[in-house]
A and B are shown apart, each in its own frame.
Chain A
């Protein structure tokens, strides 16, 4: 590989030819025969060129980006692959790789401890997860706690053992310690030895981040590391950097960094732009620790650097590098490199004859680095110009860039000024609950009352847990599992019925979408938050101060340009919920539901924008873009969780299997059908030119795959398709009908990110040319796909790929003079070939009518289709509701009438309710057939008007009528399909409810309340409140019953007033409820009994503690009037003759019966009680046990009452007149 680079440098081969050679393998006619000959001899190495180049650049730059501690230099022999050395590079792939990818460093014990401690708090997923493991003292703490594969863990590759790959992987120390094991040089080294390496421990700025999973993958530089414990010789290679051996502890490193940084801040609060003219350092920056100024005049070898920059840029442009933004990040690191580490060759002037060889370091000074970086940036201007405004501003303001290329600076400034791509952070939405919808959530949707009520409770527990999480998850020491785990599992335990699982999953998924659609979901610092904070640094000082303050509050994220998949913000809640629930059923239902929703959203007919179509206004366009963003973000979220749950059982902290074990696992896993047929969806997406929608969510899904997944044929073919897609997204090609630039950029960003995920083997990236195009895109059918519509803007790009914001952060940290977070970047790539093709699914046919309808819509504005579909959907749904409210309601009413008849004819019982129901249903259900006719009429009547109202006035008549009839057809289809399937069941259900309601009403409880009257028309509802009256009467009763203080009593006026108020209250029904009226009735009867027995203590002179006869009668008459006229419910008048109330008379001496007799007569006279009824009561009274004399008097009263002639009024008046005498007689007896 070095040979290729060298031939380039010697100009034996042109850059164009080399890139063609790399990209397409076959020699083209454009190639010079000499070049072709030079290259063809190197053919076997073709695929290894790009990884070689990338690693070469990383290694070359390692002295410039020395943020970490000095690392041991490579062992001698590592340079075996260099040209000119004895034997040259070994030709075998192992040998080649070993040259490229030296062994990874084993963990340094000092560095491991604090990380492991942090790791102990992490979630440890998987079925074997130990719950206690999260707390202190758990067995796994300090070691495997960190090793959560999806929680930021990156695979360890080639961890120290140089002998064989299997060995290297089988015994990994602290596998997923990201900082120890940057996911980079994955291929185990051959025996040749080691290469220089960088291992940088960035000082974590954010405490929050150290607690949560996203440990950065790429803040550490790529290359493999040598175990720090191994003493190694000083570098002696030509590339060598001459770094001192040994490694300091993390603490020491941090201390150093801190000191260094504080010195920097003291010495150079604002970085100064070195002037091109004077290469000499400025006075303020003389300290050895300050930034080195960069000077174009001091670049060591412009020509060589230009050439390498060109080759490198061409590889980037052809998408030969796995991750575009990672390379940009690297280049910006070079641009903002602070100074060169002092190497022993530092001041050596390169020998002139070595200019074209690789013997001399490529970057001999900061000047070289900056020169190279600016060269590459010039080539990448197009991409840069599409970055957000903040990044553009920082680039345009970068003084080094200005020094080295004023022209580029000018273009960037212009791009900045013309850019409207301000990426803003949406305010985190506060948590809103999923609303209750009767259509899906009421009793009818559950199998039993119990299931319904269980779910009711579960919903509340779910939100209780969510609220607690919101309140507490940021508290130090709070642990999800400890705080909520048992409650969640208890709740899941209640989800016994399968139907409840689906209900709960629906709630869970809706809440997930509601809370997490924006990555900045409520309450947590997330990726992408910091960019805004830093974006304006260096511009206005007030703003800067404020933002710095903010930075203290919201720590900078340190995800690096390629962070592992994370669950930022609220997503963490849902992830932890799934883990804590540990429920197979829940996971299965969740996967079902997520898959369904993904299919639904992925297939959504997103309107295609017609560029400058006169029909669509800007408003529509904005709306469409917004709609696309919402759908895309939802899909990504759902797919992420689907991937998380689907691959959950297969992921664990252990290293990926190898050898035979791997084979058997592969054999097993290849049997398992994929949870969602993503391959088919991807192919459909590509065919329909909707990659911009499908690929981003697919990437989210795949990012959670376990190590075995990419080895499975099915997924391997998916990756193959994605790789081809990646390669085809050449940004410089902007042809008619091509994918839009930002759409491409989004896909490149997400795919590049995916290729850096530890579980995705690097060898997947570099495919052999034996691969034919795995997927022929049917370009004919897809001229106007979503891909060619500019649906992606910077806001969406940065929302989906917050790591692009790292570029801005890097530039900002340069401006702010803090070297806080530079550091590593790239991981190395292993070239290998892959095979596997995706098969095309068969196409399905559609009905002719449907095709015609499709064709009709094809040439109409998309809003027309949306309108028609919308109208059809709504009218269809309304139609069903209308039928329920009219036809079904009528039938139910009929059922009630029929039932009443039945009850009358069959007596009160009416027979068995189930039987009754059957009879009714057999009579009524046939009427359900009318539903279809009525439904059709309804759709016919309602749809056209709705379509007309929603479409533009100017719609041509023919189009309008077609649209109307399609809407009618679709609505009718929808409604009738539902009705014909469900109407009978619906009628049955409603009739059943009505029957049980009627039968219940038949029962004794609310017995015949009769027609109730409301208030009179003029009523102003000013009557005393019923509660007040009950309370007042209760007081009187309690006074009468006693015990009472001597001074307590009521005045007759008060009693009269009370009864007057009672009348008012009973006449105003506004506030009166049946139970209150019942109690009022009962209390009034009790009051009457106390009056009759003369038991009411009256206020007044002590001698006269009793109510006068006349007053008592007046009060009784008032009560009688109330009973007769004002009470609407039954009054328990028979209580007047209950033994207890009559017994009240027994206590009075002398006994006076006249009031009772008076009352009984009045009751009969007013028709409130029948004579016979009273006689029956009196009869039963005699059976009770009384004192002897009382029984006698009672008998006398009985006779007296019976003796009353059954005569109408006049005679009764006479009776009344004579009554006092009789009373006197009685009293005397």
Chain B
């Protein structure tokens, strides 16, 4: 699951302008049968998010919103049961969930006296039944269940995956008899930055000292890795010394270049852990 930059680029190349639907995912799996599905999905999701970040602004101009809203209104007027919103999103190359949010906001602005708060919008997206307009509710729901990169369901899946891998890592640490402090304990002690686990007694992995371990249930591509380095890994190093990052869905090989500096990358739990031996002499 550790890909070279070239391998990664080949996959990323196939993802340009592909809508985030289950059909696209199915095709991707067929195209790269040797890669694990989770890795492919993670790469797809990250590439798509990068794409959305780049194009986000153009969908948020007043003119764009107005034009989308009118197209939505015209569409549902013709046939409320048709996937108007979803098709609109795919057509303008925007994430369906985000398109749903955009239209919902615009709708509420028109129908409510006060502009809708973010929490109201989020709550309606989580539970479209709360949306006062039945047609819109269905349209929004359709967008959300069909979007495999954005939306409350996807967020929950990602969160669950992250949590599951932390639990997995914890189990492995317990199994290896390595004592640690977890994020909650660290937070309770008032640490300002908290990796998933700090080892109470450091270990060595492949000759590198490890003080902390961070679990990342995603693929480590350049963009996300650099963001993580800046926001997390170096901060951990700054406080706790060298450590280990596990990208459970793999990473680009070339990114593992800070080993000497104190950040080691792995795609699974390391097998050759050297622990401090207490001499019994």
Contact = CB atoms under 8 A, between A and B. Distances in A.
Interface string A439-475: 0011110000000110110011011100100000000
B160 A1073 contact: yes
A435 B153 CA distance: 39
Contacts of B159: 1073, 1075-1076
Which of B22, B191, B238 gathers most chain A CB within 10 Å?
B238
A265 B239 CA distance: 54
A459 B236 CA distance: 11
A442 B194 CA distance: 12
A330 B126 CA distance: 85
A1027 B241 contact: no
Nearest to B168: A1071
Interface stretch (A146-154, A540-548, A637-645, A1032-1040): A1032-1040
A1215 interface: no
A1045 B145 contact: no
Interface in A406-442: 432-433, 435-436, 438, 441-442
B234 A460 contact: yes
Nearest to A1132: B127
Given A1038-B145, A1041-B145, A1075-B159, A436 B240 contact: yes
A1076 B163 contact: yes
Interface string A1129-1163: 00010010011110100010000000000000000
Given A441-B192, A1041-B145, A1147-B81, A1030 B160 contact: yes
Given A436-B191, A438-B190, A1076-B163, A1135 B127 contact: yes
B129 A1041 contact: no
Contacts of B193: 436, 456
A597 interface: no
Interface range on chain A: under 10, 10 to 19, 20 to 34, or 35 or more?
35 or more
A435 B134 contact: no
B68 interface: no
B237 A433 contact: yes
Contacts of B137: 1140
A464 B193 CA distance: 15
Interface residues of B, number: 45
B160 A1025 contact: yes
B191 A1076 contact: no
A1140 B131 CA distance: 9
Contact of A1027 (B126, B142, B145, B164): B164
Nearest to A507: B238
Interface string A1015-1044: 000000100011100110011011001110
A1164 interface: no
Interface in B177-215: 189-193
A1173 B105 CA distance: 31
Which of A1034, A1035, A1042, A1139 gathers most chain B CB within 10 Å?
A1034
A1006 to B, nearest CB: 15
Interface string B152-168: 11001111110110011
Nearest to B86: A1043
B146 interface: yes
B239 A442 contact: no
Contacts of B23: 1045
A1079 interface: yes
A1151 to B, nearest CB: 15
Which of A1037, A1041, A1141, A1184 gathers most chain B CB within 10 Å?
A1041
B220 interface: no
A1113 interface: no
A1082 B144 CA distance: 14
B235 interface: yes
Contacts of B191: 436, 438, 441-442
A1042 B127 contact: no
B167 to A, nearest CB: 5
Given A433-B238, A1140-B128, A1026 B160 contact: yes
A1027 B218 CA distance: 13
A1079 B127 contact: no
**Chain A interface helix/strand/loop/mixed:** helix
Contacts of A170: none
A435 B239 contact: yes
A454 to B, nearest CB: 11
Contact of B164 (A1071, A1140, A1147): A1071
Nearest to B198: A436
A588 interface: no
A841 B148 CA distance: 78
A452 B168 CA distance: 32
B48 interface: no
Which of B23, B138, B157, B192 gathers most chain A CB within 10 Å?
B192
Contact of B142 (A433, A442, A1041, A1075): A1041
A1026 B239 contact: no
A672 B129 CA distance: 75
Given A1043-B86, A1045-B23, A459 B153 contact: no
A1070 interface: yes
B7 to A, nearest CB: 25
Contacts of A1135: 127, 129
A205 B234 CA distance: 38
A456 B153 CA distance: 33
B134 A1140 contact: yes
Given A435-B240, A436-B239, A1031-B157, A1038 B164 contact: no
Which of B126, B137, B145, B235 gathers most chain A CB within 10 Å?
B145
A1025 B164 CA distance: 7
Given A442-B190, A1135-B129, A1184-B134, A1079 B153 contact: yes
B249 interface: no
A604 B128 CA distance: 69
A433 B241 contact: yes
Interface string A1048-1091: 00000000000000000000001101011011001100000000
A433 B156 CA distance: 36
B83 interface: yes
B277 to A, nearest CB: 21
B135 to A, nearest CB: 10
B69 interface: no
B134 A467 contact: no
A459 B239 contact: yes
B210 to A, nearest CB: 14
Contacts of B189: 438, 442
B241 A452 contact: no
Contacts of A455: 192
A632 B244 CA distance: 36
Contacts of B247: none
Given A1027-B157, A1030-B153, A1038-B146, A1139 B129 contact: yes
B238 A463 contact: yes
Contacts of B251: none
Contact of A460 (B127, B190, B235): B235
Contacts of A463: 234, 237-238
Contacts of A1140: 128-129, 131, 134, 137-138, 141
A462 B161 CA distance: 34
Contacts of A1034: 145, 153, 157
Given A1043-B86, A1076-B156, A436 B192 contact: yes
Contacts of B146: 1038, 1041, 1043
Interface in B95-153: 126-129, 131, 134, 137-138, 141-142, 145-146, 152-153
Given A1027-B161, A1038-B22, A1076-B163, A460 B238 contact: yes
26 contacts: A432-B241, A433-B239, A433-B241, A435-B239, A435-B240, A435-B241, A436-B191, A436-B240, A438-B191, A459-B192, A460-B238, A462-B238, A464-B230, A1025-B161, A1027-B161, A1038-B146, A1041-B141, A1043-B86, A1070-B167, A1071-B164, A1075-B156, A1076-B156, A1076-B159, A1076-B163, A1140-B138, A1140-B141
Given A438-B191, A467-B261, 5 more contacts: A435-B240, A467-B234, A1041-B138, A1041-B141, A1042-B142
